[in-house]
Amino acid sequence: MIFQPAALALLLAASLNALLLGGSGVFALHLLRHWNPASGSERQIALERRTYLVSTLVGLSLLLSLPALALFVHNADAMATFFTGAMCAVGSLKANTWGMPALWAMLAGFFLAAAWLVLNHLDSLGWDTPLLRGKYRLLLVLAPLSVVQAGFLWLYYLNLNPEVITSCCGSLFGPAASGVAAEMAALPVAWAMPLFFAGWLLTLAAGGAFLARRRFGRLFGVLAGLHFPLALAAIVAFIAPYIYEQPNHHCPFCLLQREHGYAGWVLYLPLFLGTAAGIGAGLAAAVRADSLADVAPRVAAGLAKVALAALGLFGLAVLLYLRRSHLVL
């Protein structure tokens, strides 16, 4: 057990989140069964009122998830001194089985909550709340996820043992390692770099086409979603080595450290924001409802603008880091 303020704060946050969203999940079941907009019964009015609480809760959850995710990684990084062999967040996260699952669950929670809020916003703009059932079905995914997330986090911190000899990022992303992470790291730059920039430009082009012509909105959403793993792979494959100026240092977490000018934060924040907004734009563009025929495209365009700005910024930051680097791969 590791007993420190950041861990306590994260456990508190995740537990509250699980409690609030878990409760919302139970409510979602209730609502899906009894919802009847035509009725003026007191039950219907009570259900309607409860939806305000749920929207606020998911909003709070989203607001919480990004700082919590950042704190989780930051703290894992700071804890590296605890574990023999750990040099950065990877070592701490690999110190037991639960670190990486917790990280993935938090990532999924962030994007799902963002998508839910986009749906919720659209739904509230239509007089007949056309997306209500859809968004509450999605809540049935989000709620258990929040419980799982809290579970992983508890398991992770309770089972942390400083005696454990963990692996440093070199063993996860290094030449001798195996697994997905190592394969990403082993991608030859000669085609990883063009592939990444092609994907990036394609995503931006789809977004631009959507803004200019009101077409390819769904495509943009899908591309923004696909761009995220591509960008992560690119960071491991070549962006990180360029920033470290070391051909064999592929770690995506060491980037967050002060020694590397907090490059990780510069890259990840716009990437996350852009991906969430891009997926949201795609969702908004995909919505088919008469009562949203006017507003949905406007919401989609607004989100697309945010996504384009953030993803553009991300790509420019990558270019800047590559230019500044003295490394030649």
Q: Site residues (CB under 8 A) for another protein? A: 2-10, 12-13, 16, 20, 37-38, 40-42, 45, 48-49, 52-53, 56-57, 60, 64, 67-68, 70-71, 74-75, 78, 81-82, 84-85, 124, 127-129, 162
- Minimum CB separation of residue 161 from another protein in Å reads 11
With respect to another protein, which residue has the nearer C-beta, 29 or 53? 53
Count of CA atoms in the C-beta half-sphere (13 A) of 304? 33
- Minimum CB separation of residue 196 from another protein in Å reads 29
Look up residue 208 and give its two tokens: 């631009």
Q: Which of 276, 282, 265, 259 is nearest to 317 (CA)?
A: 265
- Minimum CB separation of residue 169 from another protein in Å reads 13
With respect to another protein, which residue has the nearer C-beta, 233 or 266? 266
With respect to another protein, which residue has the nearer C-beta, 67 or 229? 67
Count of CA atoms in the C-beta half-sphere (13 A) of 272? 21
With respect to another protein, which residue has the nearer C-beta, 32 or 202? 32
Q: Which of 200, 196, 223, 212 is nearest to 278 (CA)?
A: 223
Exposure class string for 171-201: b at 16+ Cβ within 10 A, else e: bbbbeebeeebbebbbbebeebbeebeebbe
- Minimum CB separation of residue 304 from another protein in Å reads 15
- Minimum CB separation of residue 12 from another protein in Å reads 6
Distance CA 65, CA 242 (A): 30
With respect to another protein, which residue has the nearer C-beta, 86 or 184? 86
Q: Which distant-in-sequence residues (6+ apart) come within 8 Å of 309 by Cβ?
A: 274
- Minimum CB separation of residue 245 from another protein in Å reads 20
- Minimum CB separation of residue 21 from another protein in Å reads 12
With respect to another protein, which residue has the nearer C-beta, 71 or 327? 71
Work out whether the CA dihedral 202, 207, 212, 213 comes out positive or negative: positive
With respect to another protein, which residue has the nearer C-beta, 163 or 213? 163
Identify the burial level of 133 via C-beta atoms within 10 angstroms of its C-beta, where 0-12 means exposed, 13-18 middle and 19 or more buried: middle
Amino acid letter, residue 167: S
